[in-house]
Structures are given as C-alpha cells and as structure tokens.
Amino acid sequence: MNAPILVTGLPRSGTSWTGRMLTAGGGLVYVNEPLNPQHPPGRCPGVLNAEVTHRFQYICRDNEDTWLPAFRDTVALRYRFAAELRRNRSPYDLARLVRYGTAFTAGRLRRARALLDDPFAVLSAGWFADRLGCQVIVLRRDPVSFVASWQRLGWTIHFRDLLDQPLLVRDHPEVAQVGALADSTDRITKAATLWRLTDTITTHLAARHPGIQVVQYEDLARDPLGGFHTLYDRTGLEWSPRAEKRITHACTAPIT
C-alpha cells in the first residue's frame, strides 16, 4: 500500500502529534502544513508549488487545475528547488530547503510515502481522498477542550476566509450560516461555531468517502499504543518494535 496519508482536523486537535507518531516507524516522510497561508510553514513552493489564498483553502474538481499537479509533486516527494529559491532566500529558508529537499529526495529513493500534516486541508478532505488517493485521518477533539485551547492561545477564526470561497459555499451551503458572525468579536461563539460547522462537513465527507476516517483525539490520547497500532494497520504501515518504542517514549510520562 503506497497511498499518501493526510492527517487533518481543526488546529489544536492533535494533528501534529498524530502525524509524528505515524512517522515513528520510519516508512513516511513528514510534510508540515503545506496549506498554511503563513510563512513558515506555508508559502514554500519547494514543498507545494501553488499559491494559497485563504485559511482552510477549499479545493475541488472545479478549481484543481493548479492544485492537482502541485500536490501530485508533493505526495510524490518531488521537491521544487528552483521554485523555492526564487521565493525564499533567508538563512532560515535555505536551511529549510536543505532539510526538506534532502528528506524528499531520500524518501523518494527509498519509496517512502508522504504524510501531510495539515489542519487547513480539513474542508478539502474529500478531494484529497478522491483525486490524490490519500488515506485521510480526521482528528476530532472534544468541543469544550477545543474552544478552551483556542481561548488560551487568543486565537479566533475569520469567517471571511470561508465565505469568500464561492465553491466552498456552493458545495457546503451550511457555511453561509456563519455570515452572521463574520464581524463578531465573540471568540468563544466563533470557535464553537467553527467546531460545529467542521464536524458537520467532515461527518458528511466520511460517509461519502471510504478513504476518510474520523478519529476522536481523546480516545487516541487515552490509549496511544492501542490507538496507533490500529491506525498503523488501517493505513498499511508496519507496526514494528521501533514504532512501539518511539510511541511509548513519546506518550508515556515517567513515574516520579
């Protein structure tokens, strides 16, 4: 099984942790948030040679002309050195180019699979499953914990990022309902609304696409060894002593 893997879900739902634990076995190349509109980690054409215009960018067949070839390069681990150098040349960017360029090239030579860790792909999970053949894991976190985490960090959602994407509103009409909160400063209500909206959309997507599975973050955190063993089996990854050891070390606090 050589399909790429997409780990997604709203930010602060455990996607990075899950992605890192899936790479513990050594069969994957980790790709961090190519659809993040903030640089870094996004806006790196070496990793994804396409222009991200919105948070939670919506991709479907009707706008895939640029996205499909770009993501085909990404999941095939073809790093675009020239495109990266044309855009990003700071010392940090050059170090990142070396790190990603080396990881992509080495991964391609050993026929590794790409793992995309990208919360901003959550609304496009169906496209990733259908058009790129991704096995998609959607992390769902308890809504109270999710909202509390966003509050603690001072985060908010700018619903214009969703409303200004006509294809998203067309395919998921429930998005239009957040228009009433577009100018609201009530961060708790907006975060709760985002959670509810995303949960509705991803539940519908998972019902229509067999390549999408929804995983409860709290269940995974409660039993990481058992939970990740199951995810390894479902995604065709080898559950090895190396993977078990690394996951145990990362997820088990020492007894004091």
Across 98-127, average pLDDT: 97
Cis peptide bond prior to 40, omega within 30° of 0? yes
The predicted model scores a pTM of 0.96
* CA nearest to 105, candidates 135, 131, 73: 73
pLDDT score of 147: 98
Give the pair of three-digit tokens for residue 200: 């509705």
Rounded CA Rg of the chain? 18
Phi, psi angles (nearest 5°) of residue 196: -65, -45
Residues 6+ apart with CB under 8 A from 210: none
- Percent of the chain beyond pLDDT 90? 97
* Contact between residue 83 and residue 193 where contact means Cβ atoms under 8 Å apart: no
Across 55-71, average pLDDT: 98
> What distance separates the 2 farthest-apart alpha carbons in the chain?
56
pLDDT score of 9: 98
| pLDDT tens per residue across span 225-236 | 999 999 999 999
pLDDT score of 252: 78
Residues 6+ apart with CB under 8 A from 66: 50, 51
Measured distance CA(134)–CA(77) in Å, rounded: 14
Across 152-174, average pLDDT: 98
pLDDT band for position 256 (50/70/90)?
A: very low
Coil/strand/helix, residue 138: strand
Across 39-62, average pLDDT: 97
